[in-house]
A and B are shown apart, each in its own frame.
Chain A
């Protein structure tokens, strides 16, 4: 099974930077995803890491350390529209009975204030 931990809530001001940490304990690992979800809407894909290091996409960056079971999502130049829940999700290994299993953390609610 998987145990995925992330903070419940973070607050930051517009224009600032926020880092959302995610730690995981797993018997297998096939990549880590970050999704953004606004209230009442579907999760939207932000980033994917399978190798150690930093992936940058505009204002969003994601980092992975497989040896530490650790990832973070970095949001820069925060905007009001970034207020949302951010979900860390670990993909199970591609075996017959686990293919496609994406297990989510509980989500981190980011509140951006003026």
Chain B
């Protein structure tokens, strides 16, 4: 089973709203990731959590706030977003350690976010 789930599938919010994106995996993976993807562009890494600790923040604006409540869950809290933040937000997970097969990242279906 390589399933990563994300909710909601679609989200429309105003610039003054506060909302959260949720991601869940039950593969026992110890690394989880947030990516942002604009149309016809590749995914861009935002945050990496390793063993429930934030290990990489790719200089993401503070209006995006990640949280990892436990090893299966990853949240992305959104506040005071701008219209240019509209994108597909992808969550991914991986085993968290290298093996003969590499530390493959498995992606969830994404949340399509529109900021008005």
Residues of A within 8 A of B (CB): 30-31, 33, 35, 40-45, 48, 50, 87, 89, 91, 94, 96-107
Is A48 within 8 A of B104, CB to CB? yes
Selected interface stretch from B38-46, B59-67, B74-82: B38-46
Q: Knowing A43-B107, A45-B106 touch, does A99 contact B56 (C-beta < 8 A)?
A: yes
Is B109 within 8 A of A106, CB to CB? no
Is A42 within 8 A of B108, CB to CB? yes
* Chain B contact residue count (CB 8 A cutoff): 27
Chain B min CB distance to A18 (Å): 19
The 6 A-B pairs with the shortest beta carbon distances in the complex, nearest first, are: A104-B42, A42-B107, A100-B48, A48-B102, A31-B102, A42-B109
| Residue in A closest to B43 when the chains form the complex, CB atoms | A104
Is B69 an interface position by the 8 A CB rule?
no
Is B105 an interface position by the 8 A CB rule?
yes
Bound-state CA distance A101–B47 (Å) is: 9
Chain A min CB distance to B103 (Å): 7
For B88, list chain A residues within 8 Å (CB): 40
Chain A min CB distance to B102 (Å): 4
Is B86 an interface position by the 8 A CB rule?
no
Chain B min CB distance to A71 (Å): 13
Is B50 within 8 A of A100, CB to CB? yes
Is A33 within 8 A of B102, CB to CB? yes
Bound-state CA distance A45–B42 (Å) is: 14
Is B31 an interface position by the 8 A CB rule?
yes
For B48, list chain A residues within 8 Å (CB): 99-101
Bound-state CA distance A40–B110 (Å) is: 9
Bound-state CA distance A99–B106 (Å) is: 16
For A101, list chain B residues within 8 Å (CB): 45, 48, 56
Is B102 within 8 A of A50, CB to CB? yes
